[in-house]
Amino acid sequence: MDSIDLQVLDAARRWATSGKRFALVTVAATWGSAPRPPGAWLALREDGAIVGSVSGGCVEDDLIERMRAGRIAAGPPFPLTYGVTRDEATRFGLPCGGTLELVIEPAPDPQLLDDLAQRVAAHQLAARSVDLASGAVTIADARRGDALQWNGSRLTAIHGPQWRLLIIGAGQLSVVLARMALALDFEVIVCDPREEYRAEWSVPGTRFVDTMPDDTVLAMQPDPHSAIVALTHDPKLDDMALLEALKSQAFYVGALGSRRNTAARKARLREHFDLSDAEVERLHGPVGLFIGSRTPAEIAVSILAEIIAVKRGVVAPVERQHVALADGCATG
């Protein structure tokens, strides 16, 4: 879940605790161009207060009007479609004649929302199903790769923990990478046991830990929503973190270094540590997509581009070598 989806869930639970009536609205399907993808949702309170987004514009205004007018009252879930005609698509701000099909839940079960929140907090994937015929809502375990399903009468949306990025090392590149990752809705943890780096770290919104990197990885319990990037250039720190990271469920593990240094690192991991060839080959190194990056900001862009590509299941270019790093560690 991204930060907006978490805000929707938090708001719904707060409103339920305070006795407010509210509805949940989920994007079930889109045709043509649509501002928000299937699975996006919002919480709509009885007085018109809203958290989240399904279109980013006029659809929300119409939903608020329906709620205030009592047209979204307690009852079973039901579908609602916007943009069937070109005139309606234009009216509701759906470009290119887009169509938006929503599922409205006028009276969500607070206990099931608490169940979903607990699963997300425990970094578990969950499938939340809404059956329009019976009105039943169920929550079950989901697996990485499961996708939203909608057949016109039953909606199953996948919810999961926020994407996390663990950065090993707190140098200049890490500062830029952390700021960019925060903008992409990652929860960012930065680990560096070196005192001189600890004192200078000051990126709001990140969590800094000074434990040894391998202990940090173990404590983090990486799941398929976790990415780990080693940026210290110190094998004593990077290699121990990579040892644990490559054995974990993290969807992405990368390390800074030249092609020569990366080859030497992989040889060390094979020779001195209990890692299989398959585990070693999970290492992305030299880290990032090859875009000719030189400055810390450019390198951070290349790293995040590769992380996003892996996250989205996009096959990245074979050649990923960098030209040179600002701190003097040449790559490519």
- Predicted confidence (pLDDT) per residue in 235-269, tens digit: 889 998 999 999 999 999 999 988 999 999 999 88
Q: Which residues pair with 42 in a beta bridge?
A: 25, 52
pLDDT of 154 strictly over 60: yes
2-11, 247-256, 312-321: lowest mean pLDDT where? 312-321
CATH class held by domain 164-311: alpha beta
Indicate where the chain has its CATH 3.40.50.720 domain(s). 164-311
Q: Given this model, what pLDDT does residue 324 score?
A: 37
Please report the sign of the dihedral spanned by the C-alpha atoms of residue 51, residue 56, residue 57, residue 59. Answer: negative
Q: Given this model, what pLDDT does residue 74 score?
A: 83
Those residues with Cβ within 8 angstroms of residue 315's Cβ, 6 or more apart along the chain or in another chain: 309
Start-to-end CA distance of the chain, whole Å, equals 35
Instruction: Choose among 131, 86, 139, 90: nearest CA to 111.
Output: 139
Q: Given this model, what pLDDT does residue 325 score?
A: 41
Whether this model's pTM surpasses 0.85: no
Q: Pairing mode, if any, of strands 252-255 and 283-284?
A: parallel
- Per DSSP (E only), the strands in 192-309 are 207-209, 226-230, 252-255, 283-284
> How far apart, in whole angstroms, are the C-alpha atoms of residue 23 and residue 10?
13
> How far apart, in whole angstroms, are the C-alpha atoms of residue 256 and residue 229?
8
